[in-house]
Copies of this chain bind each other. A is one copy, B any other.
């Protein structure tokens, strides 16, 4: 039985004894990365709020829902310091987050599963800004072969190895049913994929040098319905 472990809370996972934990390699922890991503989304959001050139840590904290001490600590970690009683330069914070998280470095991804979820991900407007480009779809339904979704051609899963190598994709987004997830994950790894973003409602395991992020959409739902049920 393959096993998996050694991760910080919540999802991005690699096998035990695999690679040293993120922090010992000088990598940021997952929760820090998540907060920085939320600050970034908040600062780039052009909706209703005033978008002045200077923004306070309190304003970012309010938008994201964390303590403002946490915001100042996180921004200091990536080398951004604000001016007391003035705040942070919006553009400077945005650029620093982009730089640290590597958004300028393009990351090619394939989507396995050309259903509604795969299509929704391909059409999601925000991913390009994070340096993600979807380059191909794979499905096992012959009716979908050679169709185009969100600008990307759908190939047969039988062609994965060849197409992934030709296109140089390193990330795979798995939106297939639970029962085929592990088999497809194994084939993706064999084709050279180094990171799998798994939306299939099951846990997948991979060799130690392949990073897996299990995206359990239900997790966000449960917290919300818990509070809803309690408040009624």
Contacts and interface: CB of A to CB of B under 8 A. Distances in A.
Interface string A20-48: 00100101101101111110011001011
A181 B36 CA distance: 23
A230 B100 CA distance: 10
Contacts of A197: 220-221, 224
Contacts of A9: 31, 35, 65-66, 70
Max chain B CB contacts within 10 Å: which of A101, A216, A225? A225
A86 interface: no
Number of copies: 2
A171 B223 contact: no
A224 B201 contact: no
Interface residues of A, number: 91
Nearest to A216: B41
Interface stretch (A75-83, A118-126, A135-143): A118-126
Contact of A48 (B1, B36, B223, B231): B1
A49 interface: yes
B5 A225 contact: no
